Amino acid sequence: MASATAAGSSGPAAPQAPKSRRSVTGTRKAVAALFLLPALVLLGALVVYPIGYSLIRSFYDQSGDSFAGFDNYRALFTDDGIRTALKNNVIWVVFAPTVATALGLIFAVLTERVRWGTAFKLVVFMPMAISMLAAGIIFRLVYDQDPDKGVANAVWVGVHDTFAESSAFPKAHPGRESPLEPAGGGAFITKEPVSAGQTVVLPLVGVAPDLMPDGAEKAAAARPEDGKITGTTWQDFTRGKGVGQLNGVDAAELGYAGMKIEAVKDGEVVASTKASGDGTFSLPAAADGALLRLPADNFAEPYNGLSWLGPSLVTPAIIGSYVWMWAGFAMVLIAAGLAGVPRELLEAARVDGANEWQVFRRVTVPLLAPVLAVVVVTLMINVLKVFDLVFIIAPGSSQDDANVLALELYRKGFASDQPGIASAIAVFLLLLVIPVMWFNVRRLRREVRR
């Protein structure tokens, strides 16, 4: 079949354009058509036809029977679900590409300065290989609310507790016949004032044995000291009659290591201290005649981290997972651009006394501007269509808050049977990428016509 085309061959012609790609075999049009047919048929049926169909469908009502004018497009801006999706898409398009590109730029510049830059690039680029579904599952695990399971909250709570000390005794409270009484706001205070040389007992109950602080030792009775107030605060574990002594330190009981104690006179704190491992403490003479208070922050509930996938943080959290996937893409493109930057320029700037920041800001970034623009625009197009990550990471309870256009299209078109509105969303998405389409075609037209 192919050999039949040889007949019309007229040798290497096309003198008018030396670089012409005129056929070397003088192909008959029928053969060209055969080569093109499969691609054009599939493109026509699967890409071009749907564009036309969606366009028309978007002007008909949900059943498809009657013309609805711009009603479906009006819904884009009036339907609450779509408006949330639009708002989130704007957040996505503004933040995800810029953050990913900024990180990619930083990584690309810095990896040039270490010997193991290639290994670093491999690690950061690797998420590009996996599916958004897998990335979604990975980040569902990361963002788990329970700090004992989700690594994000584990780290966050760890950092938080380093700076703001957490309380050790969230459920402790006075037992029967206690010398303490509630002082409001969760604090406890002695009923009687204390005096120097006296020993005080501050027993509480209610801390589960496995939740006692690691430093807790067997409680010890305090020894009286002249000019000081000494005492013990401990878990007075008195189970029924005969086992241990109420408001007395028994052998098996543990001290409240680290419990804060304040001496209060007329509403003002005159002295304060912390109990040691065995629960003993001592206060200076200044506390003479004061009431001893166990302030409320001893008993506050432990900090439980952020609700990453709750309504307010869910979109930033998912954008975080997107940046995790795509910063590597930005990094590799920018690194390729950076390899083309003449080293002499950077070196010249350094010799002229510019510091590294100035070199980066005034030389590297301006030279990379075209690459950065390509990366940002590519990511913007990509972000417009984000679906899988939101679909997988946002739990059912906050999926409405995390909604994006592509997800809303899926819901309207396939879950709630509103193909008219779904088609309007599709056309809207298409309109948003048309500038890029136009740019691509225009740039290529010059190349094609060489």
Partner 1 sequence: MTAEAGSLTKAAPAPSGGTAARARRSLGARLAERVSGGLVQVFLIVVGLFWLVPTIGLLLSSLRTPQDMAAGGWWQVLTEPSRLTFQSYEELLKNGDITSSLLNTALITVPATVLVVVIGALAGYAFAWMDFPGRDWWFLAVVGLLVVPVQVALIPIAELFGKIGLFGSIVGVILFHVGFGLPFAVFLLRNFFAEIPRELLEAARLDGAGELRLFLRVVMPLGGPAIASLGIFQFLWVWNDMLVALIFSDSGSQPITVALQTQVRQFGNNIDILAPGAFISMVVPLAVFFAFQRQFVSGVMAGAVK
- In the DSSP assignment, the letter for residue 189 is E
Q: How far is the CB of 21 from partner 1 (least distance, A)?
A: 6
Per-residue binding string, partner 1, 252-281, x by CB under 8 A, is ------------------------------
**Segment interacting with partner 1, rule: CB under 8 A, options 173-181, 187-195, 198-206, 373-381:** 373-381
Q: How far is the CB of 149 from partner 1 (least distance, A)?
A: 5
Q: How far is the CB of 60 from partner 1 (least distance, A)?
A: 12
**Phi, psi at residue 28, to the nearest 5°?**
-80, 150
Q: Is 111 in the site for partner 1 (CB under 8 A)?
A: yes
Rounded CA separation 80/84 (Å): 6
Q: Is 98 in the site for partner 1 (CB under 8 A)?
A: no
Among 170, 206, 248, 395, the residue binding partner 1 under the rule CB under 8 A is 395
* Complex with partner 1: residue 256 or 391, whichever CB lies closer: 391
Q: Is 70 in the site for partner 1 (CB under 8 A)?
A: no
Q: Is 1 in the site for partner 1 (CB under 8 A)?
A: yes
Q: DSSP alpha helices (H): ranges in 44-116?
A: 49-57, 71-78, 80-111
Q: Is 211 in the site for partner 1 (CB under 8 A)?
A: no
**SS3 for 2?**
helix
Signed CA dihedral, 65, 70, 76, 81: sign only: negative
Rounded CA separation 49/44 (Å): 6
Beta partners for 124?
none
Among 223, 241, 396, 415, the residue binding partner 1 under the rule CB under 8 A is 396
Q: Is 286 in the site for partner 1 (CB under 8 A)?
A: no
Radius of gyration in angstroms for the set of CA atoms belonging to the chain, rounded to a whole number: 36
Q: How far is the CB of 48 from partner 1 (least distance, A)?
A: 7
Q: How far is the CB of 96 from partner 1 (least distance, A)?
A: 14
Per-residue binding string, partner 1, 35-54, x by CB under 8 A, is xx-xxx-xx-xxxxxxx-xx
Virtual torsion, Cα 51, 56, 57, 58, nearest 10 deg = 90
Among 17, 90, 110, 286, the residue binding partner 1 under the rule CB under 8 A is 110
Among 196, 329, 368, 398, the residue binding partner 1 under the rule CB under 8 A is 329
Residues between 415 and 444 with contacts to partner 1, criterion CB under 8 A: 419, 422-423, 425-427, 429-430, 433, 436-437, 439-441, 444
Total residues at interface with partner 1 (CB under 8 A): 122
- In the DSSP assignment, the letter for residue 70 is T
* Complex with partner 1: residue 207 or 323, whichever CB lies closer: 323
Rounded CA separation 276/265 (Å): 23
* Residues 282/222, Cβ–Cβ less than 8 Å: yes
Residues between 124 and 183 with contacts to partner 1, criterion CB under 8 A: 124-134, 136-142, 148-151, 154
Q: DSSP alpha helices (H): ranges in 130-267?
A: 132-142, 151-163
- In the DSSP assignment, the letter for residue 300 is P
Among 164, 208, 251, 351, the residue binding partner 1 under the rule CB under 8 A is 351
* Complex with partner 1: residue 57 or 228, whichever CB lies closer: 57
Q: How far is the CB of 165 from partner 1 (least distance, A)?
A: 22
Among 59, 81, 84, 120, the residue binding partner 1 under the rule CB under 8 A is 120
Closest Cα to residue 390, out of 314, 323, 324? 314
Distances (CA, A) of 425 to 36, 62, 111: 32, 13, 41
* Residues 143/154, Cβ–Cβ less than 8 Å: no
Q: Would you give the distance in Å from CA 174 to the centre of its chain?
A: 42
Q: Is 76 in the site for partner 1 (CB under 8 A)?
A: no
Structure tokens at 299: 């008993």
Q: Is 399 in the site for partner 1 (CB under 8 A)?
A: no
Rounded CA separation 305/147 (Å): 7
Q: Is 365 in the site for partner 1 (CB under 8 A)?
A: no
Rounded CA separation 340/389 (Å): 34
Q: How far is the CB of 200 from partner 1 (least distance, A)?
A: 39
Q: How far is the CB of 449 from partner 1 (least distance, A)?
A: 7
Among 60, 107, 169, 299, the residue binding partner 1 under the rule CB under 8 A is 107
Half-sphere exposure at residue 25, Cβ-oriented, CA atoms within 13 angstroms: 10
* Complex with partner 1: residue 292 or 372, whichever CB lies closer: 372
First CA to last CA distance, the chain: 32
Q: Is 388 in the site for partner 1 (CB under 8 A)?
A: yes
Q: How far is the CB of 171 from partner 1 (least distance, A)?
A: 21
- In the DSSP assignment, the letter for residue 48 is I
Q: Is 381 in the site for partner 1 (CB under 8 A)?
A: yes
- CA 401-406-409 angle, to 5 degrees, is 95
